[in-house]
Amino acid sequence: MMGGITHCRFLKAPVTKLEAKSPKSAVWTITAVVTLTTDLGETFYEDNATLEAILYRNGPGSAETAVLSKTVDWTFPMRALKVVLQVDAAKCNPKHQYFLRVGEKDRKAVQDVWGQYMMVQGRTSVLPIWSLPFRLGQKTKELFVERRLQIRDDRVLKVVEETGESIARHIWDAGLSASLVLASLDNERSNLASPELRKAIRACLNRDHVNILELGAGCGTFGITFATLFENCLVTLTDLGLAKEIADLNLKANSLGDRAKFVELDWTEPLPEHYKTSFGLVIMTDCTYNSAYFEPLVGVIDAVLNNNNRLLMAYKRRHEDEKEFFELMEAKGLEVTCRTKVAIEGDTETAQHADLASLRSNRGLFPWTSTPPKPRSLTKRHRSIASAHCTGRIHISFLLPCSQKVAQLPTTASGAFNDTAPTKLVHFKPVPYCTVR
Ligand SMILES: C[S@@+](CC[C@H](N)C(=O)[O-])C[C@H]1O[C@@H](n2cnc3c(N)ncnc32)[C@H](O)[C@@H]1O
């Protein structure tokens, strides 16, 4: 069973070839091979899907025009799907730049960018892929591809990622989902984030300047979303040196100027002293996948959190060991203060939701919960483990030192986080779709 977002990927980036059908008619053939898989690439899409490949041209002033489209069927148990488009050479200009987008064909409207379908109940949404621009007849750059994420009606986030297997140079489900939650902050119709989480994030952003530190940023999806959406945010993306190239590409692609930068930071190396006091918000997505790094990572988090800042983290549950991360955090006095579960599959898993609720009330961490759920017949440790058992969901948590939290949080609340309601869709308006010619 696939867990999470379905990523469309190029196994072979588009290759172009001029073929003469007759002395008078020639066609450009554009061939690519795609697959549908998870962020980790460990399984393939286990259902049928109708995909659409669209060839775009970058015209003068870089307006994008759809030149040609073709529908192709992904049928279970496929692992790779060849996409071949042919376009009349007389209608093409080899001096123009072209690019190929492959994504799910929607019955109502073609999804040009991604976001609006993510939370649809009962289905997993396919994340479309865009090749980087290429010229007909020239070899394409196989290394990078682009994702486009609608984060506001008028803003599309561009995230470049590598086609290879590098963990740091990929996009990950938690980063994508957390970015959409952030984008829904001002959308009062959306309950993608719990009211408490919204309030807490807003409180952090309610300053003239907010210095944000992103740990293990990789491509920088989440940090770049902050800098793109909130002009008062100055974001430092950090990761190992191997992420620098892709992070810099993404900073450039989103024209953030000096409001965001990449700095190398290895959790296993001594932390520069100024990190301990410089940041009003620390963010992290999908960094709890490797238990070998839990201790140094928690050490860094402990060092950079103080009485005036917060950690906002998102993770996709991948294995049992993740509970150790939260145990280490607890041992440092760092506990979850509010949590949002973003359903990226259609199931509701109500039992697990209930376990999460018990965990909160038992610890007294959520004094705003007006009607604490009844304790279940699980030990505290079991509840802690059960809380991590939400396969296929993204957890977005807000952490801060607990000594300070109790003093700051309200003792009553309206609108306590509804644990049993399935996470709802946030409506992202699609970018106007170009007519296919
Ligand atoms: C699964 S990726 C997540 C990337 C990004 N946050 C996202 O959500 O797309 C985990 C990231 O942690 C980084 N990482 C792993 N070990 C690290 C270390 N010792 N110091 C700093 N970063 C590290 C990896 O390089 C990688 O970019």
Q: How many CB atoms lie within 10 A of CB 76?
A: 11
Least confident range of 197-201, 284-288, 335-339, 378-382: 378-382
Q: Kind and range of the H or E element at 362?
A: helix 350-363
| DSSP string covering 69-99 | EEEEEE-TT-S-EEEEEEEEGGG--TTSEEE
> Among the residues of 184-220, which ranges form H helices?
195-205
Of 239, 250, 282, 300, the one to substitute when testing ligand 1's pocket (max ligand atoms within 8 A of C-beta) is 239
Rounded CA gap, 50 and 75, in Å? Answer: 8
| DSSP string covering 276-306 | GTS-SEEEEES--S-GGGHHHHHHHHHHH--
Q: Count the helices and strands in the chain (H runs, E runs).
A: 9, 17
Reported confidence tier of residue 433, pLDDT bands at 50, 70, 90? very low
Reported confidence tier of residue 121, pLDDT bands at 50, 70, 90? very low
For residues 353-373, average pLDDT: 24
CA distances to 45, 49, 149, 346 from 161, in Å: 20, 23, 13, 27
* 218 CB within 6 A, ligand 1: yes
Residue at token pair 């549908």? 36
What order of strands is seen across the sheet that includes strand 310-316? 260-264, 233-239, 210-215, 281-285, 310-316, 393-401, 334-343
User: How does pLDDT run across 295-330, given as a tens digit for each residue?
Assistant: 999 999 999 988 778 888 888 877 788 889 989 988
Domain boundaries, the chain: 6-142, 173-408
CA end-to-end distance (rounded Å), the chain: 38
* 216 CB within 6 A, ligand 1: yes
Q: How many CB atoms lie within 10 A of CB 417?
A: 22
Higher pLDDT, 142 or 232: 232
* 217 CB within 6 A, ligand 1: yes
What 8-state DSSP symbol labels residue 50?
E
Ligand 1 center–CA 217 separation, angstroms: 6
* 286 CB within 6 A, ligand 1: yes
Do 258 and 288 meet the contact criterion of CB atoms below 8 Å apart? no
Ligand 1 center–CA 390 separation, angstroms: 22
* 219 CB within 6 A, ligand 1: yes
Do 342 and 394 meet the contact criterion of CB atoms below 8 Å apart? yes
Least confident range of 81-95, 144-158, 261-275: 144-158
What pLDDT, on a 0 to 100 scale, did the predictor assign at position 62? 65
What pLDDT, on a 0 to 100 scale, did the predictor assign at position 344? 56
CA angle 108–110–113, rounded 5-degree value? 130
What pLDDT, on a 0 to 100 scale, did the predictor assign at position 189? 67
* 119 CB within 6 A, ligand 1: no
Residue at token pair 């609340």? 413
- Three-state SS at 385: helix
Instruction: State the amino acid at position 375 in one-letter form.
Output: P
Q: How many CB atoms lie within 10 A of CB 436?
A: 15
Rounded CA gap, 163 and 357, in Å? Answer: 40
Q: Which range has the top average pLDDT, 70-79, 158-167, 343-352?
A: 70-79
Percent helix, strand and coil across the chain, each to the nearest 5: 25, 30, 45
| DSSP string covering 134-170 | B-TTSPPP-SEEEEEEEEETTEEEEEEEESS--STTS
* 220 CB within 6 A, ligand 1: no
* 174 CB within 6 A, ligand 1: yes
User: How does pLDDT run across 405-414, given as a tens digit for each residue?
Assistant: 322 222 222 2
Sign of CA dihedral 31, 33, 36, 38: negative
What pLDDT, on a 0 to 100 scale, did the predictor assign at position 47? 87
For residues 353-372, average pLDDT: 24
Residue at token pair 């150790």? 324
Mean predicted lDDT score pLDDT of the chain: 74
Higher pLDDT, 185 or 106: 185
Ligand 1 center–CA 261 separation, angstroms: 16
Ligand 1 center–CA 435 separation, angstroms: 39
User: How does pLDDT run across 244-261, given as a tens digit for each residue?
Assistant: 999 999 999 999 999 999
Is residue 427 pLDDT above 70, yes or no? no
φ, ψ of residue 28 in degrees (nearest 5): -90, 130
Ligand 1 center–CA 393 separation, angstroms: 19
Do 12 and 33 meet the contact criterion of CB atoms below 8 Å apart? yes
For residues 3-27, average pLDDT: 86
* 225 CB within 6 A, ligand 1: no
Reported confidence tier of residue 380, pLDDT bands at 50, 70, 90? very low
Q: Which two tokens stand for residue 276?
A: 């301990």
Residue nearest to atom 25 of ligand 1 (CA): 168
Residue nearest to atom 12 of ligand 1 (CA): 216
Ligand 1 center–CA 218 separation, angstroms: 5
User: How does pLDDT run across 58-110, given as a tens digit for each residue?
Assistant: 865 567 888 999 999 999 999 999 999 999 999 888 889 999 999 988 744 44
Whether omega for the bond prior to residue 372 falls within 30 degrees of 0, making it cis, is no
Ligand 1 center–CA 360 separation, angstroms: 29
* 269 CB within 6 A, ligand 1: no
Rounded CA gap, 386 and 359, in Å? Answer: 9
Please identify, by atom number, the ligand 1 atom nearest to the C-alpha of residue 289: 1
Evaluate whether the domain defined by 6-142 bears CATH number 2.60.40.150.
yes
Residue at token pair 């190396």? 269
- Tell me which architecture the domain covering 173-408 has in CATH: 3-Layer(aba) Sandwich (3.40)
- Three-state SS at 243: helix
Ligand 1 center–CA 168 separation, angstroms: 6
